[in-house]
Amino acid sequence: MKYLLSTFMLTLALFGCAKNPATGGVDMVFMTEEEEFEIGHDVARNAIKTHGLYKENDAFVKYYKEISRNLVDVTERAEMPFEFIVLDSGQFNAWATPGYINIYRGIIPFMNSESEFAAVMAHEAGHVAARHTVRKDAARKAGSALLFVGAALIGANTDNKAVAYGALGAGLFATQVGFAKYSRAYEDEADELALRYMRSMGYDPKEAVGMYQTMGYYNDLRTTIYKYFNDGEEPKESMYYDLLASHPNPDDRVEQVIKREGSLPQGYVSENRDRFLAKIDGMAFGPNFRQYGVVGERNLYNPDNRMVGTLPEGFLTMYMGDGWRSYNNVYKAEASFYKKRVSKGEDPEETLRVMYPKLRQLQKLELDGFEAYTGTQKWVKRGTWGKLETLGMQRVFGFKVLQDKRDDVEKGSSGRDFYILSFFTPEEHFENLDQQFFKSAESFQRLSRKDADRIEPLRVKIYTVQKGDTVKSLAAKLPFGDLKESWFRALNGLGQYDAVKVGHKVKLIVDPNLKILQ
């Protein structure tokens, strides 16, 4: 036992202590500043490799870097080397790692002023200034050492191995929860530091309230989308906050800002709002379109494969983090579109039969630029105990690109890509919808390289509210099907009953690719 205790004390002795530059407290640390920033460099470079840098809007990137540089200059670690990057991803997120303040393009259109935008980055700068990476590392190592020494002490005093293993398991869970609490404590600390930094930069720290409200509106939007694609079902568990969540509820964070700084006057509009909106006008919206294509109101555009097509009316298509999902909320029907690589000489009919061996009523279609086949089969899923359950019917279309005769395309470039357009429909609705499925398949066309190069992502458009405009009429301009109003309110920081004001600028999302189909 003395040996175990000695080992534990030696482990703790290996840890050093250092004064925290932001809080003034003394922290247990287990790495140097050089090691800390090297970790930050590796993490940031991996993120750049995964998502790429957003370079399209040079003016915005320059604007972002200027604000970030001014921010770092008022922190307690201004002397350290920093970089500021915008990642070309539609994710709603920003994060920091030692030496880097990083923001995903996807969060930017939801911000409503420069002050809100600065509040996001000030929070992230707080994580770096307070050395949260180092402190989490030290807490994890100290906790692990204490846990295993404690379990060993219990094991040394009992012959019941189950008791020892049970103590170890309980300790692991308690340690995990403890680290989550540490993380929430770090979030609170970063929030408090953000208010300090905002004030030092000349922003009103009360405006951080808008940033947290924006997060709340976005969370509400995600819940609405989840319910739409799951027939009104509430998420079984909280999608955002659970026992091990690291971020506090936005409503709680709003209360903390008000407690620390006071409330903004009713009807307050940030003086730097229009400046920020001007910078994001025309910004790309949604996932990286070169990786994932573009989806407008109903049209699917793929610049890499030079294809465009239209889904039937009533299908809402959204990027769900790991791919596009299309759903008709009225008929409970789904749609999917993807590409399969096949050998150049492979017969499209045989390819479809191999992929879907239970297809019936297989027939050939006459489509411009494609050799296409279609068929139907039962739509099934594996239920309890592995039993197959019939959900309805599946209509499958397979497209093979024909030899392209366009002058601007190199010879022999086609013939190896096979495209699948598939619809899943409850059996009672199949006859009503099947004709629309055929029309959708017939709408797909192969674009010239010139037209494919004209494909753009969806865009943010800043619009000044005119007399007669309403939330409903403006939301109708967005390409988001039945969820237009939910998207409009989330994008513009509007609560459920808030109205738009004449002369006020709002954000719309537009599809610039409609001109290609005209």
SS3 assignment for 64-75: HHHHHHHHHHCC
- pLDDT at position 141 over 80: no
The model's confidence at residue 408, banded by pLDDT at 50, 70 and 90, is: very low
Dihedral over alpha carbons 88, 89, 91, 97 (to 10 degrees): -50
Report the C-alpha gap between 252 and 18 in whole angstroms.
31
Residue 486 banded pLDDT, cuts 50, 70, 90: very high
Give mean pLDDT, residues 380-394: 77
Residue 241 has pLDDT above 60, yes or no: no
- Pick the residue with more confidence: 380 or 211? 211
What is the Cα–Cα distance from 247 to 250, expressed in whole angstroms? 8
Would you state the pLDDT for residue 329? 92
CA-CA distance, 118 to 122, in Å (whole number)?
A: 6
pLDDT at 19: 60
Residue 248 phi, psi dihedral angles, 5° rounding: -70, 165
Token readout for 106 is 């996807």
Q: Judging by DSSP bridges, how do beta strands 324-328 and 316-319 pair with one another? A: antiparallel
Query: Measured between alpha carbons, how far is 215 from 427 in angstroms, rounded to an integer?
Result: 40
Taking Cα atoms as reference points, which of 473, 489, 479, 474 lies closest to residue 459? 479
Q: What is the pLDDT of the chain when averaged over all its residues?
A: 83
Most confident of 104-118, 340-354, 436-450: 104-118
Closest CA relative to residue 290, chosen from 450, 452, 91: 452
- CB within 8 Å of 83: residues ≥ 6 apart: 44, 99, 100, 101
Indicate the pLDDT class of residue 60, thresholds 50, 70 and 90.
Answer: very high
| CB-CB contact of 325 with 317 (8 Å) | yes
- Residue 392 pLDDT class (50, 70, 90 cuts): very high
Closest by alpha carbon to 133, among 164, 158, 97?
97
Q: What is the pTM of this model?
A: 0.84
pLDDT at 140: 60
Distance CA 212, CA 217 (A): 9
Per-residue model confidence (pLDDT) at position 343? 73
18 or 279, greater pLDDT: 279
Strand intervals (E) in 241-323: 284-285, 294-295, 299-302, 307-310, 316-319
Is the model more confident about 26 or about 89?
A: 89
